[in-house]
Structure 1
Amino acid sequence: MLYDLHELQRSFLSPLAAFSGSNAQLLTHPYSPWAYTPLSKQLAAGYELLHRLGKEYEKPLWDIPSIEKDGKTIPVKDETVHHLPFCNLVHFEREGLKKKEPKVLIVAPMSGHHATLLRDTVRTMLVDHDVYITDWIDARMVPLSAGPFHLNDYVRYVEHFLEFLDDDVHVIAVCQPTVPVLAAVSLMSARNSPHVPKSLTLMGGPVDTRESPTQVNRLATTKPYSWFENNLIQRVPARYAGAGRRVYPGFLQHIGFIAMNPDRHMSSHYDFYNHLVKGQDDDAESHRRFYDEYNAVLDMPAEFYLDTIRIVFQEHALPRGTWEVDGEFVTPAAITKTALFTIEGELDDISGLNQTRAAQTLCENIPESKKQHHTAMGSGHYGIFSGRRWRNNIYLLVKDFIQKNA
């Protein structure tokens, strides 16, 4: 019912958003006489802000047309090379580049935002690596005939992609997938699979949420499992391909994102209005780019979300050694050949300090010479995989680690 009410609200807001967007253009276009009237900048700024608050945000494009390498511009083309019901495997082909470089699978989080949130991660990695990424599909677009999708299915998807990519793969898991990726590599190692990755880099993830609990962890542990199922799970409305599927809707997740830092978002929108009025186009465009990504959310399968709450945050099944995937116990100690690099942000308010580092202790049979840890001082959650600190510091460490274990 809540999802249906949300769709009804969207149907009312859409005409208002379109009207506001048109008026903003009318008051700013250089060939429009209205752009030269008194208060036109203030009115245009108000209309654009209203437009952006009311519009529906689609999945952003990857928008990586090229990279700069050795002083040359290398065209880049993204294409889906493998498809599963809930995920596409996307490859970024660097045209004309014949030199063989390390093959890297970036496992993006299924935690509300699209995989394009890792655009900066991908763009930076492309300079020295052959990059693939998991592009999770909005659950409201997956027909019921595809069946449910549990956390265990996520683990199997990772195994499947590693087998598809064959040998000599390096894996980077960002945030939420650190847990299922570590599980997948553990299971493959226990079976002596020939497709275990050469290296595994875990970045800012909830491997053991008993360490330095954050606001996210506390929410998951202060509410009973039934609260999440009864209050957050909705059925997809009839207008979508996944009609009837139980999901944790993107719009509810977005409300949660905003609620974590409401003052920051309010201040950001106020600054955006002032940038428009003052003609500070670069700052205004930066705001647009950020919120085009931040406001584009997807629905998560209910089974996956509820499994994550129970297994990762409430039962701590991975660090306690009680997690079973289709009858197989997940034992990180089984990993012996894959090198391990854990990365955390000092100021991460989503995955606290030592939550990711816990993987170092769990993977006790990896030789110390193949283990590495880095705490990014002054960095928050997003800073470890996007932005200046990522590009100028953390990436160089990841690059060296991959090359050392290639």
Structure 2
Amino acid sequence: MLYSLYEAGFYAATPLRAAALATRNFWSSPLNPLRESQGARRIYANADLFVNLTRRYGRPDWGIDEVTIDGQPVRVTEETTWSSPWAKLTHFSRDKGDMRLAGRRELEPAVLLVAPLSGHYATLLRGTVRTFLQDHEVYVTEWSNARNVPMLEGRFDFHDFIDHIRDMLRALGPRPHVVAVCQPGPPTLAAAALMAEDGEDSRPASMTFMGSPIDARLSPTVTNRLAEDKPFAWFESNVIHTVPAPYPGLGRRVYPGFVQLAAFMSMNLERHREAHRNYLQHLMRGDGDSADQHLAFYDEYLSVLDLTEEFYLQTIDKVFQRYLLPKGELEHHGRLVRPELIKDVGLLTVEGENDDISGIGQTQAAHALCSGLPDELKEDYVQPTVGHYGVFNGKRFREEIYPRVRGFIRRTQPTFDKQRRTA
């Protein structure tokens, strides 16, 4: 019912949104002689804010057509190298000719960036991808919006997520590197453990976990306490809703993206209010650069997707309530997941000192679980002063965190791959 009401509210606001759009265009038109007056700017700013607060935000574009490598521009194209109804594996392919001009003639390590399936699109990692492209062949998991997947495609749960990670690693070939950002940490570690136990050629050469709830019992945050304090039945009854028409996933039970977005924003509600007040002031003063920065952030932040009921509820149950992986009780298709059997996969954990989503120690817990790894294949790093987002994006990530990740990947690159590089 809530989903249908949400949709009805959107369509009911269409006339008001159209009127606000017309008002915005009229008062910003270069043909309007009053457009630079204070009154015109005020009217324009309020109309623009209303339009942006009530419009639909679809999946953003990656917008990565080029990166600079050693001072040389290198063209980049997106390629889908593997797909299922629930995800696609996007390869950011760098132009080989441009790479040679940049002095890069070696075969560079392949990295699988596992994006979170927690409400936002994979494009949230745009800055992460740009940074990794300087030194790696980059592949990113792009998860489907559950409301767009027809019921005929069946279910997608926590264990399907693990299977997808395994299939994507296999698609990359022998010994790729995997970097899991936030939520995917536990299922990615489970996938690596199963592949290591089976001796698969495509088991990771290294795995990096960034701000991940490997053991959510440690340094609990507001997010963790919400999952702990509410009984499992509360989540079943209060946050799961049915996809209405006209979406292809009509009838599917989901955790809607707009519910997750409301939860995200409520955590820092005053900060979001202040940001929109500042945006209004920027528009009225004609400060276009500051207004554009605001729009760029919220175009991404307000773009959300739905999660299937089974995936969301199993994640709450297995990761945030029963803590099955750190307790050694997680089973995958009836088989116990045993991280202690990982023997030759590098392990790097990265945390932010001020992370309010995954507290200090939650990601580090992977080291105790992977007890079979020698010390030389383990590394831990805590970045001072950054929060959750700063662990994988922004200036501190580019200048302080990424060089450590890059160095760790280079150290753990399999010997056979180093030997087959061409000069």
- Give the 5 Å matches for 1:122-161: 122-161=129-168
Equivalent residue, structure 2, for 1:205: 212
The offset of 1:65, in angstroms, is 1.1
What is the distance in 2 between the residues matched to 1:89 and 1:22? 40
Residue type of the alignment partner of 1:93: S
The offset of 1:276, in angstroms, is 1.1
What is the distance in 2 between the residues matched to 1:32 and 1:390? 45
Equivalent residue, structure 1, for 2:416: none
Residue type of the alignment partner of 1:394: I
Structure 1 pair 41/136, CA: closer, same or farther in 2 (3 Å)?
Answer: same
Residue type of the alignment partner of 1:364: S
The offset of 1:24, in angstroms, is 1.8
The offset of 1:38, in angstroms, is 4.6
Question: RMSD of the alignment, in Å?
Answer: 1.1
Equivalent residue, structure 2, for 1:391: 398
Equivalent residue, structure 2, for 1:323: 330
- Give the 5 Å matches for 1:103-118: 103-118=110-125
- Give the 5 Å matches for 1:5-404: 5-96=5-96, 97=99, 99=105, 100-404=107-411
Contact in 2 for aligned 1:13/1:55 (Cα 8 Å) = no
The offset of 1:337, in angstroms, is 0.8
Q: Which sits farther off after the overlay, 37-46 or 181-190?
A: 37-46
Which string of whole-angstrom CA distances, capped at 9 and with x for unpartnered residues, describes residues 113-150 of structure 1? 00000000001110111000000010000011111111
What is the distance in 2 between the residues matched to 1:163 and 1:38? 60
Partner SS state of residue 75, structure 1: strand
Partner SS state of residue 307, structure 1: helix
Contact in 2 for aligned 1:16/1:54 (Cα 8 Å) = no
Normalized against structure 1, the TM-score is what? 0.98
Residue type of the alignment partner of 1:78: E
Contact in 2 for aligned 1:155/1:181 (Cα 8 Å) = yes
What is the distance in 2 between the residues matched to 1:385 and 1:55? 29
Partner SS state of residue 193, structure 1: coil
Paired residues, number:
406
Equivalent residue, structure 1, for 2:420: none
The offset of 1:281, in angstroms, is 1.5
The offset of 1:166, in angstroms, is 1.1
Partner SS state of residue 35, structure 1: coil
What is the distance in 2 between the residues matched to 1:168 and 1:31? 61
Structure 2 residue runs without a partner (length 5+): 414-423
Q: Which sits farther off after the overlay, 89-98 or 180-189?
A: 89-98
The offset of 1:343, in angstroms, is 0.3
What is the distance in 1 between the residues matched to 2:235 and 2:380? 34
What is the distance in 2 between the residues matched to 1:394 and 1:125? 11
Which string of whole-angstrom CA distances, capped at 9 and with x for unpartnered residues, describes residues 267-289 of structure 1? 00001111111222111111000
What is the distance in 1 between the residues matched to 2:326 and 2:334? 17
What is the distance in 2 between the residues matched to 1:13 and 1:398? 47
Partner SS state of residue 317, structure 1: coil
Partner SS state of residue 190, structure 1: helix
Which string of whole-angstrom CA distances, capped at 9 and with x for unpartnered residues, describes residues 328-369 of structure 1? 111110111100000000000000000000001110111100
Equivalent pairs: percent with the same residue? 44
What is the distance in 2 between the residues matched to 1:351 and 1:127? 28
Which string of whole-angstrom CA distances, capped at 9 and with x for unpartnered residues, describes residues 179-238 of structure 1? 100000011111111111110000001100110000000110111111101111111112
The offset of 1:70, in angstroms, is 2.0
Residue type of the alignment partner of 1:345: G
Contact in 1 for aligned 2:175/2:201 (Cα 8 Å) = no
Q: Which sits farther off after the overlay, 274-283 or 392-401?
A: 274-283
Contact in 2 for aligned 1:79/1:90 (Cα 8 Å) = yes
Equivalent residue, structure 1, for 2:419: none
Structure 1 pair 65/319, CA: closer, same or farther in 2 (3 Å)?
Answer: same
Contact in 2 for aligned 1:139/1:247 (Cα 8 Å) = yes
Residue type of the alignment partner of 1:264: R
What is the distance in 1 between the residues matched to 2:19 and 2:126? 31
Residue type of the alignment partner of 2:208: T
Residue type of the alignment partner of 1:331: R
The offset of 1:37, in angstroms, is 4.3
Residue type of the alignment partner of 2:385: G
Contact in 2 for aligned 1:61/1:116 (Cα 8 Å) = yes
